[in-house]
Structure 1
C-alpha cells in the first residue's frame, strides 16, 4: 500500500469525538459542576481531548480542568468510559476520571474561564438530576457508585452499564 493509498484509507475511516472530565467532590461528597455559557445546562470540568495534537484522555481531563477552573489537579483513576451515540454529531467516547476531594481553600482558589463558563456550584448526589440530564447525569452517578463501592472501571453505553 502506498502512502497515498494509506492516507485515503485513513480518511475514509469512521470518526468519533473523545471527551474527558474530572469528577471533583468536596468533603461532604457534593459534586463540582460548571455552567457553560455556550449551551444550556451544567457539566463537569472537562471537554474535548485534543487527540490531533497527541493528547491522551487523561491529559485532556487535566488540561481542561486547569483551563476551566484554574486548578492544576492530578487526575486520579479512570472511573468510567461511556460510548454516547449522536444524531447531529459523531459518537463521543467520554472518559470520567476521579478528580479527588478538594479542600475549602482549593474551592476558594477556583478561577473560572470566563470565555466559556458562567458559574460553578457544589451539588449533592440527590440533586444531580436537577442539573445533569441524559448520559452525563447517568455517567456521574455511575462514577460516584464506583467510588462508593471501590469497584473497578465501568463500561457504559449512553450512561448505562454494559452487562
Structure 2
C-alpha cells in the first residue's frame, strides 16, 4: 500500500512540474469520445490532394533473330519503343495495343508484363512517370503503315544497337525486357536502374555513354 502511495505521489509531482504535454495527452486519452476533436478529410478532397503521375506503355516486338523493333519519331532525334501515354479510361495493356495499332498498323496480342520503370519528374514533365513494357511477340519483316506526321521510320535492330539508339534512361529497358521475357518474370527499374535491397541506384548505371538522358516515354 505504501509503495502504491509513493508511485501516486511521484506521478502527481511529475505532472505538477509543468509536463503539460503529458497532462494534455492524459486528458485526451481519458476524455469521452464526444468531446475529442478528430480531424477528418472528406474522401474527395483527400484523393484530390494525393500525388499524381503519368503512365505510359510500350511494346517489346522482335523478329525471329531476336532483333528489337523501334520507331523513329519525327519530332526528336532518338528512336523509341512502339508505345505512348495511357489515356484516362484505359488499362496500360490496352494503351499498348492501341499505340502499336496507331503507329504501325499492327493488331498485336499484348502478352506478359516485362518491365515496370518509375521515373521521377524531369525537364518539362513535372510529374513522375510509371512506364510499362509488355511482350508483344515476334513478327516477320514487313512494310509498316506509319503515320507520317508522327513517325518517319520503323526498323529492327540488334539489342545492342537498339540500346544505342534509345535515350540513355530508356536504353536499359532493352536488356531488362529481354531478360524478363526469358525468365517469364517482370523486372522493376527505378529511373532505368535495377534496385538492390530496395534502394534504387541514382547513378547512370545502364545508361549508354554519350547518349541523351532526357526523360522521353520511349
Q: What range is the shorter-chain TM-score in?
A: 0.7 to 0.9
- What does residue 107 of structure 2 align with? 72
Query: C-alpha distance in 1, partners of 2:174/2:94?
Result: 20
Residue in structure 2 matching 1:60, options 85, 91, 95: 95
Q: What does 1:82-93 align with in structure 2 at a 5 Å threshold?
A: 82-88=117-123, 89=125, 90-93=127-130
Instruction: Name the count of aligned residue pairs.
Output: 154
Root-mean-square deviation (Å): 1.6
Of residues 17-26 and 139-148 in structure 1, the stretch that sits farther from structure 2 once superposed is 139-148
Deviation per residue, 1:56-79 (Å, 9 max, x gap): 000000000000001010111000
- What does residue 55 of structure 2 align with? 18
Query: C-alpha distance in 2, partners of 1:143/1:115?
Result: 29
Greater C-alpha radius of gyration: 2
TM-score w.r.t. structure 2 length? 0.66
Give the strand-richer structure, 1 or 2: 1
Shift of 1:37: 1.2
- What does residue 82 of structure 2 align with? 45
- What does residue 140 of structure 2 align with? 103
Query: C-alpha distance in 2, partners of 1:99/1:45?
Result: 10
- What does residue 167 of structure 2 align with? 133
Query: C-alpha distance in 2, partners of 1:100/1:124?
Result: 16
Deviation per residue, 1:13-55 (Å, 9 max, x gap): 21111000000000111101001112221101100000x2x20
Query: C-alpha distance in 2, partners of 1:40/1:48?
Result: 19
Q: Structure 2, unaligned stretches of length 5 or more? A: 1-41, 197-218
Residue in structure 2 matching 1:160, options 181, 190, 193: 193
- What does residue 116 of structure 2 align with? 81
Q: Structure 1, unaligned stretches of length 5 or more? A: none
Query: C-alpha distance in 2, partners of 1:61/1:162?
Result: 25
TM-score w.r.t. structure 1 length? 0.87
Which has the bigger relative contact order, CA under 8 A and spacing at least 6?
Answer: 1
The answer on 1:28 being equivalent to 2:62 is no
